[in-house]
Structure 1
């Protein structure tokens, strides 16, 4: 006579598989999320090159989408499983980790879509401030230190018409001191500062991938006022995802606020 397994025999096996499945799902999700984060830091720390970093970032993002969908589809099973509390916790953690990482990836993709193909910004596009002290630091940079000319100016003016030369109703010394102070407060590396020439140069190292962008500020006295120009340029990359524009906009806004206090 053929024997069959009873429900009591099957349930322990089903429960064991369920526990293995949810533990594996959260484990793989956490590991993939770790690689998603390490993709940038690995390049920043010199562990691998930029192409490898982007490959890891892209593959881990796709995998996290799959795990996130699996987590959503598993909610019903987790809610009906024997270890309901633990399995729901694993499932929600899977969805949260996947959603956060994918959200970051989608945010940066939106920046690519919503910003012009630029890697430099200047308030003065006809006579942009020139780099000097930073030239040696940019010696191996893929992007040259020279300004990109009329094509760059046209793209910038169409996308960021508010980024123009400003005239501050304060003497040059006060503006110079406040600009240097603001650079320090932002954690930028000050490469050079010369009050006489009115030129200030600095570098900001971005978090995660560690990309370096260079800044040059030019101050010109004008009858007790100061003509302020600022230029920001990435060392690497065809597009900066709007980073240089936001840097210039925020710096000038903070400078005006600090000077008016």
Structure 2
């Protein structure tokens, strides 16, 4: 193989690797497989793809620079090969970026829980959604005091939403916020001031179930939420962040 072709090969390999990495993350959203399949594939092979690209790109880059000593090779061709190798190297480093960042910045450690609620004493209960919901491996039965203690220690700011609204107005606003956040409303009961919905994560398309309950509080209303992952022992803070975002949007 001519040395000027190595850069082209490195770039092609890099583009294919990027496509595979993206497919592992978004394949479930495209209906190709279950979320856990893409997640496990990414966990096992994402970094490997990055290492392969970086190694090939470095070999092509070094070879391209060493080829400058050859008078037989056109300088324009050599330059293009080096550029392609450089782009391939950057793509490889991009694939490895999450791992590199984890070395530079210590990752946040979340407790191994996947059931977060604004009311740990009397968590909102699911009525329409059950343990038989599609793809679920986790129960909707609340884990009790141990789960509550871990949540309160990790996410002390998860609190009920208090609003100066009638319960009817608070219910409609909560429903509107949920729809704005892209949740799929699977059941709603305006009389009971509650609704259940399903939210999906932007990466890997994991499904989490959310129940929202509105109740009277003094002269206004109180809104409680509970967000539960269908699979996985821990949720990397996703359910807590969802409730926090909901609370922020509701109070805006």
- The answer to whether the superposition gives a TM-score over 0.5 is yes
1:124-172 Cα deviation digits (max 9, x unpaired):
1111001111227626510011111112111111110000223222211
Q: 1:214 to 1:105 in 2, by over 3 A?
A: farther
Note if contact 2:214-2:224 (Cα within 8 Å) is conserved in structure 1.
Answer: yes
Matches within 5 A, 1:35-114: 35-45=20-30, 47-48=32-33, 50-51=36-37, 53-55=39-41, 57-72=43-58, 75=61, 77-79=63-65, 81=68, 82=75, 83-104=77-98, 114=109
- Greater share of helix: 1
Any stretches of 5+ residues in structure 2 without a counterpart? 69-74
Matches within 5 A, 1:1-261: 17-45=2-30, 47-48=32-33, 50-51=36-37, 53-55=39-41, 57-72=43-58, 75=61, 77-79=63-65, 81=68, 82=75, 83-104=77-98, 114-135=109-130, 138=133, 140-257=135-252
Q: 1:140 to 1:78 in 2, by over 3 A?
A: closer
Greater mean alpha carbon deviation, residues 141-150 or residues 72-81: 72-81
Indicate the structure (1 or 2) with the bigger Cα radius of gyration. 1
Note if contact 2:25-2:38 (Cα within 8 Å) is conserved in structure 1.
Answer: no
Q: CA deviation at 1:202?
A: 0.9
Distance 2:93 2:120 in 1: 41
Q: 1:182 to 1:210 in 2, by over 3 A?
A: same
Q: 1:139 to 1:77 in 2, by over 3 A?
A: closer
Distance 1:185 1:51 in 2: 28
Greater mean alpha carbon deviation, residues 196-205 or residues 87-96: 87-96
1:3-61 Cα deviation digits (max 9, x unpaired):
xxxxxxxxxxxxx5222322221222221222112123334455455357513542242
Residue 7 (structure 1) aligns with: none
The count of residues paired between Structure 1 and Structure 2 equals 242
